[in-house]
Structure 1
Amino acid sequence: MLQVCLNGARTAADSGAVPMSPAALADAARQAVAAGAEEVHVHPKTPCGRDSLAPRVVAAALEAIRAVVAVPVGVTTGAWAEPDPVRRAERIRSWTALPDHASVNWHEPGAETVAAALLERGIGIEAGLWSGTDGAERFARSPLASRVLRVLAEVTDTDAGSAPATARALLTAVAGAAPGRPVLLHGEDGGAWPVLRLAGELGLATRIGIEDTLLLPDGRPAASNAQLVAAATSSAHGLPGR
């Protein structure tokens, strides 16, 4: 499974290819799905470009995207969007439009509280376990571990040479913390393409998009999420062609 991560915490200051508004997110999602993406991950944003969990902001993004694609759509619950985990959970309970799933970074304070609120609403959880954090150890102790949709194994090592080894170490930790749970493996920036190729070799779900990298495999700036997805789905870059 290939997921497209449309924007992340990036803004227009990072690249003109970053979709911000609901309309831009919808257009990016439509093109990415046409290029081969099977799921969408998005960071809903306020008009000034800040990640937000506010009901009206989340609903606007979800409704725009779902009007043009018929694949699962997930959102972030990152602490940067709402630092107070109690407030974050309150936001989730007040959502008027529900995503199919949402990512919860297990190393962040209040992850259990946030995850419980998602489960109350019937929203699937992508358990974000980042390399370089104690997320896997915390997740191994969580009573909610068996209830997540999948583990989102996030390789934060941005060095192309060392990222695959970091990914393998993270996968070992994930296997101990969440035996039998589905895993989506991905990297970021310099590590994005090497980790994507590793995911292909291991037969794991993965993702690509403007959130994870602004560059194509050959180092050229990506013009769109669809261009990144097209590169990822080519057999030359580690995933089955479509």
Structure 2
Amino acid sequence: MLQVCLNGARSSAECSHLPVTAEQLAVAAREAVAAGAEDIHLHPKGPDGQDTLEAAAVAAAVTAVRSAVPGIPVGVTTGAWAAAGRQDRVAQVRAWNVLPDHASVNWHEDGATELATVLLDRGIGIEAGIYSGTPAARRFLDWPGSRHVLRVLAEITEPAAQDALDAAADLLEELRSVSVPILMHGEDTAAWPVLELAASRRLDTRIGLEDVLHLPDGTPSPDNAALIRAARGIIRRNQR
């Protein structure tokens, strides 16, 4: 499975063509799905362009994207930075009146298990975010609900390519006992090497302007769709 991560916690200052509004996210999602994306991850933004978990922003983003790409699963972030604190984050998720298909939960953040329980209670699938170089894997595996998540995100945070590949191998070893699909991805200069590794191991993966602003040849990517097309080419080569 190839997921597109449309915008992330980035701002328009980093990327002038970053989709921010619900309408921009819908257009970007439609183009990315046409290019081969099979799942969508996005960060709803407030009027200030910053990530938010506020119910109206989540509803607007999810509704617009679902209308643009019917039948494609749509997920959102629950990153701690998008709320005022642990209890505020849970309260905002409880207030959602339009539910995404799934939401990512970062297991190195305080309150991850409490938040995950709320998501499960609401029927929202969980992408368990396991950052490399953190205790997240052990915390997740020790959680009694670990078998009930939709998938595990093996999130490789090391910036240098070889360091990232080494960390990816270590993290996959830590996660060897998981019984759900693993989606592995990297960031910035390591994004493409990690995607290549994920493809070679037949793992789910993702790409998009959240993870990287450049194509494999180093040129700036004009949009998410171009990143998806490049990823599709890498995946095809590894499936021969």
CA distance change for structure 1 residues 224 and 137 in 2, over 3 Å: closer, same or farther? same
1:187 is aligned to 2:189: no
Alpha-carbon distance between aligned partners in 2 of 1:121 and 1:23, rounded to the nearest angstrom = 26
Q: What's the counterpart of residue 41 of structure 1?
A: 41
The one-letter amino acid of 1:120's match is D
Alpha-carbon distance between aligned partners in 2 of 1:107 and 1:57, rounded to the nearest angstrom = 25
Alpha-carbon distance between aligned partners in 2 of 1:61 and 1:162, rounded to the nearest angstrom = 35
Alpha-carbon distance between aligned partners in 1 of 2:217 and 2:146, rounded to the nearest angstrom = 38
Q: What's the counterpart of residue 132 of structure 1?
A: 133
The one-letter amino acid of 2:221's match is A
Superposed CA offset, 1:18-70 (max 9, x none): 11000100000000000000000000001211100000000000011011102
- Report the Cα offset of residue 161 of structure 1: 2.5
CA distance change for structure 1 residues 49 and 204 in 2, over 3 Å: closer, same or farther? same
Q: Verify the 8 A CA contact 2:105 2:128 in the aligned structure 1.
A: yes
| Structure 2 unmatched ranges of 5 or more | none
The one-letter amino acid of 2:143's match is S
1:3 is aligned to 2:3: yes
- Report the Cα offset of residue 82 of structure 1: 1.0
Superposed CA offset, 1:110-161 (max 9, x none): 0011101101110000000000111001112111111111101000011122
Q: Verify the 8 A CA contact 2:196 2:234 in the aligned structure 1.
A: no
Q: Verify the 8 A CA contact 1:234 1:240 in the aligned structure 2.
A: no
- Report the Cα offset of residue 17 of structure 1: 2.3
Q: What's the counterpart of residue 147 of structure 1?
A: 148
The one-letter amino acid of 1:180's match is S
Q: Verify the 8 A CA contact 1:85 1:113 in the aligned structure 2.
A: no
Superposed CA offset, 1:206-234 (max 9, x none): 00000000010000011100000000001
Alpha-carbon distance between aligned partners in 2 of 1:83 and 1:201, rounded to the nearest angstrom = 40
Q: Verify the 8 A CA contact 1:232 1:239 in the aligned structure 2.
A: no
After TM superposition, list the pairs within 5 Å mapping 1:10-159 onto structure 2: 10-70=10-70, 71-159=72-160
Superposed CA offset, 1:139-184 (max 9, x none): 12111111111101000011122211111111111124xx222100
Alpha-carbon distance between aligned partners in 1 of 2:159 and 2:205, rounded to the nearest angstrom = 16
Q: What's the counterpart of residue 219 of structure 2?
A: 220
Identity fraction in percent: 53
Q: Verify the 8 A CA contact 1:41 1:73 in the aligned structure 2.
A: yes
Instruction: Supply the RMSD in Å over aligned alpha carbons.
Output: 1.4
Runs of 4+ in 1 over 6 A off after TM superposition: none
Q: Compute the TM-score of the two structures, normalised by the length of structure 2.
A: 0.96
The one-letter amino acid of 1:13's match is A
- Report the Cα offset of residue 83 of structure 1: 4.3
The one-letter amino acid of 1:81's match is A
Alpha-carbon distance between aligned partners in 2 of 1:45 and 1:117, rounded to the nearest angstrom = 22
Alpha-carbon distance between aligned partners in 1 of 2:236 and 2:12, rounded to the nearest angstrom = 27
Alpha-carbon distance between aligned partners in 2 of 1:206 and 1:114, rounded to the nearest angstrom = 24
